[in-house]
Homo-oligomer: A and B are copies of this chain.
């Protein structure tokens, strides 16, 4: 269980940390803001402060347990790190997030970095669009 991951990361196994991990694991959308996690904690009756949520998420990020993403908008979004690199497509209308991976894009990025004399360390690619999900409220098609 998650107890292992926490210990492995050198973090004490505390209630806030376990609860936050649980929420990230159970999440349907898998991409949550600190606020969203905080609200879920409140809803399940936990007395955990928003500051703690931010502190825990920052520690999780440092430990490689979660990734912090920056989509348009002002809040960071957090997702559980599952070791498979991927990029994101976000629906402008309903906020739905999909993940994708394309080796050709990865390759071309490495090539672009090389051409410009950069030692590539990381990259962030987000595609914005309108999804055609039936649940999407502003769906065009």
* A122 neighbours in B (Cβ, 8 Å): 127-129
* Residues of B contacting A105 in the complex (Cβ-Cβ under 8 angstroms): 104-105, 108-109, 112
**Min distance, Cβ A108 to any Cβ of chain B, angstroms:** 5
Q: What are the residues of chain B within 8 A of A112 when measuring CB–CB? A: 89, 100, 102, 105, 127
Chain A contact patch, size range: 35 or more
Q: Which residues of A contact B (CB under 8 A)?
A: 70, 72, 89, 91-92, 98, 100, 102, 104-105, 108-109, 111-113, 115-133, 140-141
Closest Cβ of chain B to A112, distance in Å, is 5
- Pick from B91, B125, B140: contact of A125, CB under 8 Å: B125
